[in-house]
Amino acid sequence: MGKTAGPSHMIGGMGVYDAAVVDIPPKIINRELPQYPPSARRLRLEGTVLVSMIIDSQGKPTHCTIRKAEPKGVFEESALAAAHSYRFVPGKVGGQSVATLVLVPFHFKMAN
């Protein structure tokens, strides 16, 4: 049941657990889809952005950063805006809500 691992690192004085070591990982309960950038739509570009975020003990995303983007310079702003709108049930260790580092992919695909 409970894992004995502590926070994997500190960010802003706060202990942050990796999603792989918590007893219960954060779960998305509310999200907005990212806006498709008009320029990307006109050019029919598709891509994926991987966003790293810390889900705080209240279930809010903080410290959202781009981990990877293909193609670069196209979808990052839209992905970050959407990431900040997400809400989660926070991760838990020993029954306590904890800050947890997660990676969330945002896929941008043109409708057929």
Per-domain residue ranges of the chain? 15-108
Please give the model's pTM, rounded to 2 decimal places: 0.85
Model confidence over 7-20: pLDDT tens digits?
665 555 568 998 98
Phi, psi of 50 (to 5 degrees): -105, 120
Q: Is the peptide bond before 71 cis (omega within 30 degrees of 0)?
A: yes
Residues of the chain with pLDDT under 50: 1-4
Q: What is the pLDDT of residue 26?
A: 98
Q: Which CATH architecture has domain 15-108?
A: 2-Layer Sandwich (3.30)
Is 25:102 a contact under the CB 8 Å cutoff? yes
